[in-house]
Amino acid sequence: MHMLCILLQLLILTFFIPIFFVFLLHRPFEPQALAAASGLFLFLLLLTLLLREHTENRLNPLRENSPRPLGALLVFLGCGLEWLSWLMVTEQYHPDGRRGQMLVIVIKLIGPWLPAAVFFVLGMQLVWFGFRAWHGR
């Protein structure tokens, strides 16, 4: 199973490298698209780390659990929520799908500041819990 996780990570990196260079060479340069693609691949890499941790715990029940992969995932998700709040405040949030359109309706009704503040606070909490989990407390 450990070899499968390494192969998945190599496959993810193999797909990310050409996409990274396409985003860098594409004109006009769009840093948000590059950040979104990088975030997707980072999320996939973090999931492979969680898979490895889960597999090792399942194979050896007496093994001590490492909180670092879960802490890194929580920090990543918290930063994503903070980025979403920034997009809402700067009015760059244009979602597709039904749930996103409901959020746009809420933003039109009460303004972008209250939903952005809620997402920012939730993101800060996830970052805080992630750092605490990273340090094993």
Positive/negative CA dihedral, 126, 130, 131, 133: positive
Tens-place pLDDT, residues 7-44: 888 888 888 888 888 877 877 877 777 777 888 888 88
Mean model confidence pLDDT for the chain: 83
**What's the confidence (pLDDT) of residue 127?**
93
Residue recorded with tokens 């996830």: 126
Tens-place pLDDT, residues 100-110: 788 788 888 88
Decide which of 32 and 128 is more confident: 128
Span 72-85, mean pLDDT?
A: 89
Residue recorded with tokens 């698209």: 33
Find, among 87, 92, 91, 90, the residue nearest to 119 by Cα: 87
Are the beta carbons of 78 and 116 closer than 8 angstroms? no
Give yes or no for residue 121 having a pLDDT over 90: yes
User: Which tokens is 13 given?
Assistant: 């990196």
